[in-house]
């Protein structure tokens, strides 16, 4: 069966979801000034989306929706809604489709005017060089000597901190990118939330859980979106995969060593591992502060996030019960050393390779 095929029931549900997304974007970005047009799915692969003013039709590629992650569909929808705004609200009809008015609307609202998906700024050769130096340090962190491994990991963190302090203004000029980590889930649990906090606090990106829709299943969920410079996104994506894989491995080791036969305590143990990693990175951060290296944030990234997500709803979580499994996982997490961890053979491809997209 061609994955572009949708049953009548799934297609009807998809169109309802697109209508809800249109209303949300209209409220968040266009102050509710856009009325719902005729939403249709096109069969052509030659375009991702198009706005047809004469029939008030907003058409999206069916192939795009079933092939790409939902956030890509939302980006294309925002792009076409910018065309609708220029046409129906501003009444500009004497310019080319991507003329100056359209370009200004996209810039002001943080919408990608290229209609190619997620915002992706050009790569910076200097940032790439720093990334390679960090990769080499994390390769040294594979050392079986615990002190050498810790020293290499700490050196990599300090290099990353110095780089971000020195190039704060440059990043804002070059722009920021967006990526999505992990698979969409119906619920987000404590391990994922702690991991997101680790990425935001120690790896110079910003993150937010965004709602997504799975058109081939007719289900909603959420996925972690990270925003930052290309180099920082590379490292954060790697760390996310590394820590996710490491926590799962530690759980399997724990099950084997304790004779457990069920996964009842798995989530609590993995949350403990992530908490232990957070504790360790916090202690190392204090050493950087003592050396006069203090990160106060990236104003350009904050502005980018504010444009991209004008209305953010903050949810406070109480956390899950902290029992013995959590404490044991936390102890193991405090011993984790983030290293390059590239392996060959059957295990290759389990997680992202550092700086190799």
Q: What pLDDT was estimated at residue 169?
A: 73
pLDDT digits (tens, 9 = 90+) for 88-127: 999 999 999 899 999 999 989 988 887 666 777 766 777 8
Q: What is the DSSP letter of 188?
A: -
pLDDT at 303 over 70: yes
Q: How far apart are CA 139 and CA 151, in angstroms?
A: 12
Instruction: Domain 8-109: give its CATH architecture.
Output: 2-Layer Sandwich (3.30)
Q: What pLDDT was estimated at residue 1?
A: 38
Q: How many CA atoms lie within 13 A of 311 on its CB side?
A: 8
pLDDT digits (tens, 9 = 90+) for 71-84: 999 999 999 999 99
Q: What pLDDT was estimated at residue 149?
A: 87
Q: What pLDDT was estimated at residue 226?
A: 96
Band of residue 311 on the pLDDT scale cut at 50, 70, 90: confident
pLDDT at 270 over 80: yes
Band of residue 347 on the pLDDT scale cut at 50, 70, 90: very low
pLDDT digits (tens, 9 = 90+) for 44-64: 877 889 999 999 999 999 988
Q: What pLDDT was estimated at residue 357?
A: 34
SS3 51: strand
Closest CA to 265 of 318, 319, 317, 328: 328
Band of residue 305 on the pLDDT scale cut at 50, 70, 90: very high
pTM score, whole prediction = 0.86
Q: What pLDDT was estimated at residue 319?
A: 65
- Each as own residue / partner, the long-range contacts of residues 141-147 (CB below 8 Å, 24 or more positions apart, any chain) are 141/337, 141/338, 141/339, 141/340, 142/339, 142/340, 142/341, 146/337
State the average pLDDT for the chain. Answer: 86
Q: How far apart are CA 37 and CA 22, in angstroms?
A: 9
pLDDT digits (tens, 9 = 90+) for 329-339: 999 999 999 88
pLDDT digits (tens, 9 = 90+) for 253-264: 999 999 998 999
Q: What pLDDT was estimated at residue 293?
A: 65
Closest CA to 238 of 345, 342, 344: 342
Band of residue 185 on the pLDDT scale cut at 50, 70, 90: confident
pLDDT at 315 over 50: yes
Where in the chain are the domains? 8-109, 125-333
Residue 271: partners with Cβ closer than 8 Å, 6 or more residues away = 189, 190, 191, 194, 320, 326, 329
Band of residue 343 on the pLDDT scale cut at 50, 70, 90: very low
Band of residue 291 on the pLDDT scale cut at 50, 70, 90: low
Q: What pLDDT was estimated at residue 168?
A: 74
pLDDT at 17 over 70: yes
Closest CA to 191 of 280, 268, 279, 276: 268
| % residues pLDDT > 90 (the chain) | 56
């Amino acid at each position: 069966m061609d994955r572009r095929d949708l049953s009548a029931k799934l297609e009807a549900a998809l169109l309802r979801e697109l209508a809800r997304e249109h209303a949300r974007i209209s409220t968040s970005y266009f102050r509710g000034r856009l009325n719902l047009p005729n939403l249709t799915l096109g069969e052509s692969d030659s375009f991702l989306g198009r706005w047809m003013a004469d029939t008030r039709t907003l058409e999206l590629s069916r192939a795009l929706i079933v092939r790409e992650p939902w956030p890509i569909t939302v980006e294309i929808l925002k792009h076409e809604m910018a065309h609708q705004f220029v046409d129906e609200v501003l009444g500009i009809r004497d310019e080319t489709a991507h003329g100056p008015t359209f370009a200004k609307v996209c810039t002001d609202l943080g919408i990608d005017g290229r209609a190619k998906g997620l915002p992706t700024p050009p790569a910076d050769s200097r940032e790439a060089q720093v990334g390679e130096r960090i990769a080499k340090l994390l390769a040294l962190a594979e050392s079986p000597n615990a002190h050498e491994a810790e020293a290499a990991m700490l050196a990599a963190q300090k290099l990353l901190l110095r780089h971000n302090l020195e190039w704060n203004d440059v990043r804002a000029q070059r722009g920021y990118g967006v990526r999505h980590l992990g698979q969409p889930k119906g619920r987000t649990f404590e391990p994922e939330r702690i991991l997101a906090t680790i990425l935001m606090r120690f790896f110079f990106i910003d993150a937010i859980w965004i709602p997504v829709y799975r058109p081939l299943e007719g289900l909603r969920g959420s996925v972690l979106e990270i925003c930052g410079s290309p180099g920082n996104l590379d490292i954060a994506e790697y760390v996310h995969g590394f820590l996710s894989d490491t926590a799962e491995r530690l759980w399997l080791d724990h099950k084997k060593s304790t004779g457990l036969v069920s996964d009842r305590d798995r989530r609590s143990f993995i949350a403990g591992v992530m908490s232990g990693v957070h504790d360790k990175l916090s202690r190392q951060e204090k050493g950087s502060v003592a050396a006069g290296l203090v990160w106060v944030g990236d104003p350009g990234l904050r502005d980018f996030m504010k444009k991209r997500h004008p209305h953010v709803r903050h949810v406070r979580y109480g956390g899950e019960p902290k029992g013995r499994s959590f404490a044991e996982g936390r102890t193991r997490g405090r011993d984790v050393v983030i290293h390059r961890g590239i392996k060959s053979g059957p295990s290759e491809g389990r997680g992202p390779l550092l700086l190799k997209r």
